[in-house]
Amino acid sequence: MTRPAIAYAWAARRRTLLNDTSASEQSWEDEHSNDPRWSAAVRLAARRSQQLKHGTEETQQALASLWVERVNTGYMAITLHPLAGEFALVADSGLQELLDLTAVSVARHYRGSSFDAAHCPPAARSSFGRLYQIQLGQFYLYGRFCEPSPAGLDGGAVAERVMQEATLFALAHELGHAVAATEHRAGHVYWLDEQQAPANLGHVAVEIEADAFAVALCFADLWGASVGEAEATLRMLAIRLTLNAMEAVEAASLVPRVDRHLPARRRWNGIRSYLAERFPAWLLERVDELWEALAGAFAFTEASVVVPPFEGVLFSLARDGWLDAYDPAEEEQWAQREQLVWHFRLPLRISEYLIGADAVSTVRGSEPDHAETFRVGHRAVTELLEGLPDWLVGDDPAHGQATSGELISYLRIRERWPAPFCDGAPLPIHLMASAVHQRLNGRFPRSPETRR
């Protein structure tokens, strides 16, 4: 296979715009991508496409015209750019970072020759969930991944396979858009009968088509084959991880774009109904049970108490078998990161009370009661919300949507602070961003432990 010249040239010209590191630091590339994992995913897709029941030729044509450009900014975007019959897929590194992390957790549930929730004690899952909150919190605080996961967090070969299948699903979804490019660019379905497509799905229908194409490709080599339970489970979990990761990051937007993709659960239900025609019900039910156990650790939830656990994050990860060793000197950095994210996860009313407490703290002689303190904080959040510009809270599909990370940057300028902070105490910026986020999007989900 030769490199698609137009797509490659387009991506190469944009490397300085897209990357944090300079283009000269770029050392690896082949005919598919500048990243070994994405290249492996393209080759895997090419192999699986040979066993598709329909559409092998057009899939292989789309693959031959595809260049995958990995960029290292930590954002979660994957965008497909049509270029005179070829396609450049720009894959920001944030998705891989998040999937890498979650793949380690999935791998922990594999032992012997099967996946089982019992292979990972709830306490171990809980300490992993704590790490996940800190890492996912970066999307809320900065809009992207800025800090890596702890060194030594390694799920071995099983995690690598999960990651490979998850990357393949993400690639295959975009490949579906590429195969149906003309129709999907116009917002029309390609495989479905336009007359029979449910009217209420609107433009989400093209995303459903891309999901259907992706799952057919991901499982193409298993149809009619004698399938190992673990292999089928691994592939299904990889798809759920990918859907969950995309949804988790979309939720960090100040105005989540819920109409662009269906919620992860509904997307999975669509995929599941397709798989149900090919796999036994008991296998799908086992995957569902396993996912329910895993999903508790893969959610950005409301903090159940005001301060984080005293026990260090790295210590608890090592105690529960996620790390063989760690540098105690790094524990303080992790504590600071967790503190920031923890504050962001506080329930709205507590955030507003704490904002009020900061506001009244510099007023000499003032001793308001708790109710008045809360009201001061609530008013400050309301005033800020009413004055926020459209680019932060509006919905402009042409230019994407802002996250609370952009709001935090916006609030670094004092003139933008609401009363009484504009001429009083320093604004607690992260608490304010959290309060605004929750006012716009509703409270964060409560953690499973809290619900019990």
Cβ(330)–Cβ(279) below 8 Å:
no
The verdict on 97 binding other proteins (CB under 8 A) reads no
Angle at the Cα of 57 (from 54 to 58), degrees rounded to 5? Answer: 90
Spacing of C-alpha 26 from chain mean position: 25
Shortest Cβ distance from residue 257 to other proteins (Å)? 7
The stretch near other proteins (CB under 8 A) out of 178-186, 218-226, 274-282, 369-377 is 178-186
Cβ(139)–Cβ(436) below 8 Å:
no
Determine the Cα–Cα distance for residues 110 and 120; give it in Å rounded to an integer.
9
Angle at the Cα of 158 (from 300 to 276), degrees rounded to 5? Answer: 75
> In whole angstroms, how large is the CA radius of gyration of the chain?
23
User: Which of residues 400, 416, 429, 446 is near other proteins by CB under 8 A?
Assistant: 400
List the x/- string, 132-171, binding to other proteins by CB under 8 A.
-------x---xx---------------------------
The verdict on 173 binding other proteins (CB under 8 A) reads yes
Buried b (16+ CB within 10 A) or exposed e, 17-52: ebbeeeeeeeeebeebbbbebbbbbbbbbeebbeeb
Best CA proximity match to 416, nearest among 393, 383, 394: 383
Angle at the Cα of 430 (from 145 to 102), degrees rounded to 5? Answer: 30
Best CA proximity match to 409, nearest among 425, 424, 389: 389
Shortest Cβ distance from residue 80 to other proteins (Å)? 4
The stretch near other proteins (CB under 8 A) out of 213-221, 248-256, 338-346, 356-364 is 248-256
User: Which of residues 108, 125, 161, 177 is near other proteins by CB under 8 A?
Assistant: 177
Which H or E run includes 61?
A: helix 56-64
User: Which of residues 47, 111, 185, 278 is near other proteins by CB under 8 A?
Assistant: 185
3-state secondary structure of 263: coil
User: Which of residues 62, 89, 101, 179 is near other proteins by CB under 8 A?
Assistant: 89
Complex with other proteins: residue 11 or 162, whichever CB lies closer: 11
Complex with other proteins: residue 80 or 318, whichever CB lies closer: 80
The stretch near other proteins (CB under 8 A) out of 252-260, 276-284, 306-314, 422-430 is 252-260
User: Which of residues 201, 295, 406, 429 is near other proteins by CB under 8 A?
Assistant: 406
Determine the Cα–Cα distance for residues 53 and 51; give it in Å rounded to an integer.
6
Q: How deeply is 200 buried, as exposed, middle or buried, from its count of CB atoms within 10 A (0-12, 13-18, 19+)?
A: exposed
Residues 104-123 contacting other proteins, CB under 8 A = none
Size of interface with other proteins, in residues (CB under 8 A): 48
β-pairing verdict for 86-92 and 66-71: parallel
The verdict on 100 binding other proteins (CB under 8 A) reads no
The verdict on 263 binding other proteins (CB under 8 A) reads no
Complex with other proteins: residue 81 or 446, whichever CB lies closer: 81
List the x/- string, 6-45, binding to other proteins by CB under 8 A.
--------x-xxx---------------------------
The stretch near other proteins (CB under 8 A) out of 73-81, 153-161, 310-318, 328-336 is 73-81
User: Which of residues 50, 79, 333, 336 is near other proteins by CB under 8 A?
Assistant: 79
CA distances from 145 to 36, 154, 213 (A): 20, 18, 29
The verdict on 181 binding other proteins (CB under 8 A) reads yes
User: Which of residues 42, 66, 68, 76 is near other proteins by CB under 8 A?
Assistant: 76
Shortest Cβ distance from residue 69 to other proteins (Å)? 11
Cβ(75)–Cβ(94) below 8 Å:
yes
Complex with other proteins: residue 243 or 359, whichever CB lies closer: 243
Shortest Cβ distance from residue 318 to other proteins (Å)? 33
The pair of structure tokens assigned to 386 is: 């009413």
Complex with other proteins: residue 360 or 429, whichever CB lies closer: 429
Determine the Cα–Cα distance for residues 166 and 246; give it in Å rounded to an integer.
12
Determine the Cα–Cα distance for residues 361 and 384; give it in Å rounded to an integer.
19
The verdict on 398 binding other proteins (CB under 8 A) reads yes
User: Which of residues 6, 9, 40, 77 is near other proteins by CB under 8 A?
Assistant: 77
The stretch near other proteins (CB under 8 A) out of 37-45, 249-257, 368-376, 434-442 is 249-257
CA distances from 271 to 210, 233, 268, 429 (A): 11, 14, 5, 41
Q: Which residues bind other proteins (CB under 8 A)?
A: 14, 16-18, 73, 75-82, 89-90, 92, 139, 143-144, 173-174, 177-178, 181, 184-185, 207, 246, 249-250, 252-253, 256-257, 260-261, 389, 391, 396, 398-403, 405-406, 410
